[in-house]
Amino acid sequence: MTDQNVNAAAAEIELYGALKDKEPPKEPRSQWRDVWDQFRKHKGALIGGGFLLFITLAVLIGPLIWQVDAKQLDIRNKDMRPLYTLLWDGDARTSWAKPLGSDNLGRDILATLIAGGRASMAVGWTAMILALFIGTAVGVSAGYFRRLDGPLMRLTDLFLSLPILPLLLVAVTLFRQPLRASFGPETGMFILIVGVIGITSWMQTARIVRGEILALKEREFILAARSIGTTPFKIIRRHLLPNVVSPIMVSATLGLATAIITESALSFLGVGFPSDFPTWGKLLSDAVPRMEEFPERVMLPGILISLTVLSVNYLGDGLRDALDPRIRGR
């Protein structure tokens, strides 16, 4: 009798023991920790992100360290070569005061590169944020409000069938004068270029966000939120937007890359910023006529543009992998 009881108790313990963990449970992990762990595995993305950070910091605090005015003319020390040309050409005109040489008016190339990077990055970031803002707004309203879906998506299709680069050129050439007159040459051009790039590059973001919102809208947690009387605006802000952050971040990196390239292309074609205001594209196009004698003036800004865009692209690639829960953990 007692034996049977003991046996039954032992069996019971055996039975429930299988349901218990043999070892203590792991620490709970947050989503962003997982994302970071996956992101770290992508070497290219890690290097890309590091380089982007480096460039951004360099153009932000560079002027504090290298305190040379980018617009300072020094005609006696014009056409200096960079220091590294000494490696193969001992007679080159170089100077430790101008480590990357000087241009045909004696402006220090290192200082102009930093100033140009400031302009290019500022245009890139602002245009990207503007495009993201428009794209997210259009995508969320088209996805959430059924009545707006048709018109907004037709608008997106329309924008997608516009020839973008010609229109950019048209807009920038034609509206340069009035904006310069009202905001001053530099601010006016900045507003114009950021505006046209932002207005012409939001469509992909809008499409992606709309698709995600359409799928999310039918999920139970939105139904629950609606059933307790949450207003549409609060549903969007509290429940929908946090869930579409990852596609938005990925398209942000793509947007940054295109914005930097577009700004440089406009500068290269001679419709960008005024001539005494350096940007990377402008430095490159100014250096083209004398590139046989001074190839570094073409190479340095070109390499900076390409490396920045390359690192942004790699960053986007890594982010896409890290933020996709189906790939993560594999």
298 binds other proteins, rule: CB under 8 A: yes
- In the set 101, 247, 281, 318, which binds other proteins (CB under 8 A)? 281
Within 112-171, the residues that bind other proteins by CB under 8 A are 157-158, 160-163, 165-167, 169-171
DSSP labels, 293-323: T-HHHHHHHHHHHHHHHHHHHHHHHHHHHHH
Q: What CA–CA distance (Å, rounded) separates 320 from 314?
A: 10
310 binds other proteins, rule: CB under 8 A: yes
37 binds other proteins, rule: CB under 8 A: no
Q: Which residues are bridge partners to 98 per DSSP?
A: 95
Residue 193's contacts (CB-CB under 8 Å, 6 or more residues apart) are: 123, 127, 172, 263, 266, 272, 273
Three-class DSSP category at 95: strand
Q: Which is nearer to other proteins, 153 or 235 (CB)?
A: 153
- In the set 173, 182, 231, 275, which binds other proteins (CB under 8 A)? 173
Closest approach, Cβ 324 to other proteins, in A, equals 14
> Encoding tokens for residue 168?
């950019």
Closest approach, Cβ 210 to other proteins, in A, equals 18
Q: Which is nearer to other proteins, 206 or 213 (CB)?
A: 206
- In the set 51, 66, 175, 183, which binds other proteins (CB under 8 A)? 175
Closest approach, Cβ 122 to other proteins, in A, equals 18
Report the length, in residues, of the chain. 330
Q: Which is nearer to other proteins, 240 or 271 (CB)?
A: 271
> Encoding tokens for residue 241?
């937007």
- In the set 50, 288, 325, 327, which binds other proteins (CB under 8 A)? 288
Residue 159's contacts (CB-CB under 8 Å, 6 or more residues apart) are: 200, 202, 203
Within 239-258, the residues that bind other proteins by CB under 8 A are 257
* DSSP, res 26: P
Neighbours of 38 (CB within 10 A): 21
Residue 230 contacts residue 224 (beta carbons within 8 Å): no
Q: Which is nearer to other proteins, 62 or 281 (CB)?
A: 281
Residue 87's contacts (CB-CB under 8 Å, 6 or more residues apart) are: none
| Interacting residues with other proteins (CB under 8 A) | 44, 157-158, 160-163, 165-167, 169-171, 173-175, 177-178, 257, 261, 264-265, 268-269, 281, 284-285, 288, 291-292, 295, 298-299, 302, 305-307, 309-310, 313-314, 317
